Amino acid sequence: MAQSSQRQPRLALATAALLLGLAALISLPRQPATAASAGQIAADVASAKSLSTAFRAAAEKVLPAVVTIETRVSADQVVNSTDPGASDPFGERNPLEGTPFEDLFKNMPNSGPQGFRSPPRSDQVGLGSGVIIDPAGVILTNNHVVAGGDEVKVRLSDGREFKAASVLTDPKTDLAIIRIDGATGLTAAPLGDSDRVEIGDWVLALGQPFGLESTVTAGIVSATHRGIGIAARENFIQTDAAINPGNSGGPLVNLDGQVVGINTAISSRSGGNNGVGFAVPANLAHWVSSQLLADGVVHRAYLGVGIQPLTQDIATQFGVAPREGVVVTQVAPDTPAAKMGLHVGDVITKLDNKAVGSAQDLQLLVEQSQLGTTHPLQIVRNGKALSLAFSPEAQPADYGARRLAGDTANNGEAGRPVRTLGMALDQLTPEVAQQLGLDGATGVVITAVEPNSPAARAGLEPGMVIRQIGRRAVGSVSDAQAALTNVTSGKGVLLLVQTDAGTRFVVIEN
């Protein structure tokens, strides 16, 4: 108690002193800014004005090349492109037929002896953006802006309108080229080198969001080499510059007034801008547009392999670093990959001395390889770095529909069904392979998987075929059992498994 009574006056004095100090501070006159601080403020303002000037100069350079694209789809095509019941779920039937409210619709407009009828449909009109890349009347935009249109109309920045003379598209990259005839005095925007774009760079997004022509927004590059699953070929530049409906097909521009991307998509829960927009890189757009203009189609080279990314567990099994390459899971016969000597289990790290960090990296590098030339392909095989010579060939028209065939091997002895690591294995016979849609496949088939077992945790499922264990071909269930018996805790073993969707590596641990 004595200690408490001694503390109270001290606390009161301290409080009083604090209040007096605050009063003194409040009563002090405001000191004028020092010369140094005033100079800093002036420098900051000058820097902001300099950035504003750069934005203005870039916008003024490119805006005359930005166009509005109007795509009209006829009402007949809208109706015929879908199931009649889906486009008009009631047809001519009263939607409340058989209910107490049935009579409410008898005297409505468009109703009659046949019952309720939907009002006449009108044409659908979509708006998008584009950018002139050649003053001869060549416009670059997105495929989804013009796809399915009966009529495509282009409105220039000066208000002149032209019907598209021709439309060329590449759905795989969601890019398209529009040609207009008879337009004079056109301004073309220069294409920049999108390979030089880096995270943090300032960019402007130009276009017609919500039909508001000549709109400019600013932001930075948030990421590069982004894949989001909306197109067959993706290598997007991600930006937080505002992109909204109507911006599709418009240019993403650097501070030098060069087009570094074509605005294509947004990630949004509301349908509007959430600061996550995506643009096709200008270098890819230039490669596609050049071929469309020359031949009307895009010619792509191919390799003829199945590949998968290097996750941590897969990379450990191959003795390489994660994301520093892709691993080959299949090699199709009579393809460039087979001719150059690629093997299942090879890790591809570079093509033309350009790093391969993902499946989409390799796909884009391969497809853009010049036909009739040889390109160095760097791989890691059994821990050793090798270089192979890749001679690109034109991708067959039906290549995407083909199923990559696996290497054939002797089935070996039949063996008896076994259970190991929470899965049941049986010999894969030709009849079972055919039932699984895997004609010609060899190995052992998984017939059952126990919940929460090592097999289940590895993602194995009934119907999968195990073709390799520990990089060795599996010929029988006894081979599989012997190879899996030595799997110990913390030391996984690599399996090559096949389904009708393809072949991939997995790691199973006890």
- pLDDT interval class at 489 (50, 70, 90): low
**pLDDT of 288:** 97
Residue in the structure block whose two tokens are 């005033």: 38
Active-site residue, selected from the candidate residues 129, 144, 194, 358: 144
Q: Pick the range with the lowest mean pLDDT from 33-42, 163-172, 186-195.
A: 33-42
pLDDT value at 7 more than 50: no
- pLDDT interval class at 433 (50, 70, 90): confident
pLDDT value at 500 more than 70: yes
- pLDDT interval class at 487 (50, 70, 90): low
pLDDT value at 207 more than 80: yes
Q: Which residues have a Cβ under 8 Å from the Cβ of 32 and sit 6 or more positions away?
A: none
**pLDDT of 483:** 85
CA distances from 3 to 13, 14, 402 (A): 16, 17, 89
Nearest to 303 by CA among 237, 222, 230, 361: 361
d(CA 43, CA 48): 9
Specify burial of residue 164 (Cβ count, 10 A radius: 0-12, 13-18, 19+).
buried
**pLDDT of 231:** 85
**pLDDT of 509:** 85
Give mean pLDDT, residues 425-429.
Answer: 91
* DSSP line for 443-493: SEEEEEE-TTSHHHHTT--TT-EEEEETTEE--SHHHHHHHHHT-BTTB-E
Q: Which residues have a Cβ under 8 Å from the Cβ of 11 and sit 6 or more positions away?
A: none
Buried b / exposed e over 431-467, threshold 16 CB at 10 Å, is: ebbeebebeebbbbbbeebeeebbbbebebeebbbbb
**pLDDT of 401:** 52
**pLDDT of 25:** 43
Amino acid of residue 226: R
Specify burial of residue 344 (Cβ count, 10 A radius: 0-12, 13-18, 19+).
buried
Q: Which residues have a Cβ under 8 Å from the Cβ of 344 and sit 6 or more positions away?
A: 328, 329, 330, 331, 407, 468, 496, 503
**pLDDT of 65:** 98
**pLDDT of 275:** 80
Beta-ladder partners of 169: 176
Give mean pLDDT, residues 410-439.
Answer: 78
Whether the CB-CB separation of 273 and 266 falls below 8 Å is answered with: yes
Rg of the chain, C-alpha, whole Å: 32
pLDDT value at 340 more than 80: yes
The better pLDDT of the pair 3, 237 is held by 237
The better pLDDT of the pair 479, 132 is held by 132
Give mean pLDDT, residues 111-119.
Answer: 53
Q: Pick the range with the lowest mean pLDDT from 155-159, 177-181, 268-272, 451-455.
A: 268-272
pLDDT-above-90 percentage for the chain: 57
The better pLDDT of the pair 269, 435 is held by 435
Active-site residue, selected from the candidate residues 129, 170, 174, 361: 174
d(CA 56, CA 257): 10
Q: How many residues does the chain have?
A: 510
CA angle 386, 389, 394 (to 5 degrees): 135
d(CA 312, CA 323): 8
Q: Pick the range with the lowest mean pLDDT from 12-26, 53-67, 245-259.
A: 12-26
Amino acid of residue 149: G
**pLDDT of 496:** 94
Helix (H, G, I), strand (E, B) or coil at 280: strand
**pLDDT of 90:** 41
Tokens of 263: 């605005």
**476 is annotated as an active-site residue:** no
**pLDDT of 202:** 98
**pLDDT of 441:** 86
d(CA 390, CA 366): 9
For strands 384-390 and 354-355, give the pairing. Answer: unpaired
Give mean pLDDT, residues 193-211.
Answer: 96
Beta-ladder partners of 393: 302
d(CA 431, CA 410): 15
Whether the CB-CB separation of 383 and 319 falls below 8 Å is answered with: yes
d(CA 333, CA 21): 87
**pLDDT of 48:** 87
**pLDDT of 86:** 42
CA distances from 262 to 38, 60, 285, 410 (A): 42, 18, 8, 52
**pLDDT of 109:** 55
**pLDDT of 408:** 40
Active-site residue, selected from the candidate residues 194, 248, 358, 478: 248
Q: What is the mean pLDDT of the chain?
A: 83
Q: Pick the range with the lowest mean pLDDT from 87-91, 161-165, 296-300, 446-450.
A: 87-91
Helix (H, G, I), strand (E, B) or coil at 170: strand
**pLDDT of 26:** 47
Nearest to 416 by CA among 444, 392, 396: 444
- pLDDT interval class at 17 (50, 70, 90): very low
Q: What is the pLDDT of residues 350-370, one digit of tens each?
A: 999 999 988 889 999 999 999
- pLDDT interval class at 106 (50, 70, 90): low
Backbone angles phi, psi at 350, to 5 degrees: -150, 150
- pLDDT interval class at 505 (50, 70, 90): very high
**47 is annotated as an active-site residue:** no
**pLDDT of 3:** 47
**144 is annotated as an active-site residue:** yes
Whether the CB-CB separation of 134 and 188 falls below 8 Å is answered with: yes
Q: Pick the range with the lowest mean pLDDT from 4-18, 166-180, 230-244, 379-393.
A: 4-18
Whether the CB-CB separation of 189 and 131 falls below 8 Å is answered with: yes
**pLDDT of 213:** 93
d(CA 387, CA 378): 5
| Domain architecture of the chain: domains with CATH | 194-295 (2.40.10.10), 301-401 (2.30.42.10), 418-508 (2.30.42.10)
Highest-confidence range of 52-61, 313-322, 357-366, 437-446, by mean pLDDT? Answer: 52-61
Q: Pick the range with the lowest mean pLDDT from 99-108, 195-204, 490-499.
A: 99-108
- pLDDT interval class at 122 (50, 70, 90): confident
Direct distance between the N- and C-terminal alpha carbons of the chain, in angstroms, rounded to an integer: 66
Amino acid of residue 371: L
